[in-house]
Structure 1
Amino acid sequence: MTPQEIANLCETKQNQLLHKYFGNLVHEAAIERPETIGEYTKDLPLKIEAEYRAFLEELWKEYAPEELKGTPLVLEEQKLRKFMTDDDREMIEPAYKEATEITLWERITKSNHEDVTYYKGLLQEYTRDLLMVMRQDFLEEITSKHIKNKAFEED
């Protein structure tokens, strides 16, 4: 399989996971207008990350470069997640609080769906960024074309 085919496969899986867990948030916000977050907990991105990582590990077993066959997949997602997504992650906590705390006014006017929609959108954006970072890291490993970044080396 060519590197481009592997990249396409990774991107397809990423999109499938986002659709599986987030569906069509625009439709949900416009039609259903949920007043609670439901299954969209703050740890959802980590659950999706674990599922994507398992997928990448299977690809690694099959398509790792010859010199790395039989070695475990090493992704730097902990450093990368922190480096790439700190701002997004910080915004999730206050949005979560707003979405889960329904004021008396919001109960009367049934307007908490606005907070819920905003929170879900942030969660989806954070998850998309996280999966994209993982995909890039994986593709660097599989093609042995590593990008040097001083920000990662300082830690």
Structure 2
Amino acid sequence: MSRSTQTAYLCDQCGADFPKWYGQCPACKEWGTLREYKPPARKNSARRHRSPAPPSALGQQSSSRRIPTRLAEVDRVLGGGLLPGALILLGGNPGIGKSTLALQILHRCGLPALYVSAEESADQLALRAQRLQIQTEKIFLSNEAEIQALEE
């Protein structure tokens, strides 16, 4: 079955997804909460047909490619800065400053970056950036919650 015609079932209660329908969600055990969902069709991309990169020895990896955040404690925790292509997940209680820290890191790096937030709207993030006097020309925002859509 092709990806464009696949059907999934998402639980309204816990967000778990399954390839087939169940009367009771196997994850949270709630009854009648699975709803049919058709994932968006993926476009053919050259990325999917690219040959895999050849493996390299761990000792051949360079740490000089790190991008300093110019925030001393963040650079220390990240081993000297951000690695190009890295995905970093900031976790913590609500209101503790995760979005503020992320915006400050992106601003201090000064490089084009994509900020993905499935929780806050682009307007909320733009207002926070304005309050912090952060230059936003190089920061791009997305509220897309599906990783497959971001890949396109």
Q: TM (normalized to structure 1)?
A: 0.21
Greater relative contact order, per chain length (Cα 8 Å cut-off, separation 6+): 1
> TM-score if structure 2 supplies the norm length?
0.22
**Structure number with larger C-alpha Rg:** 2
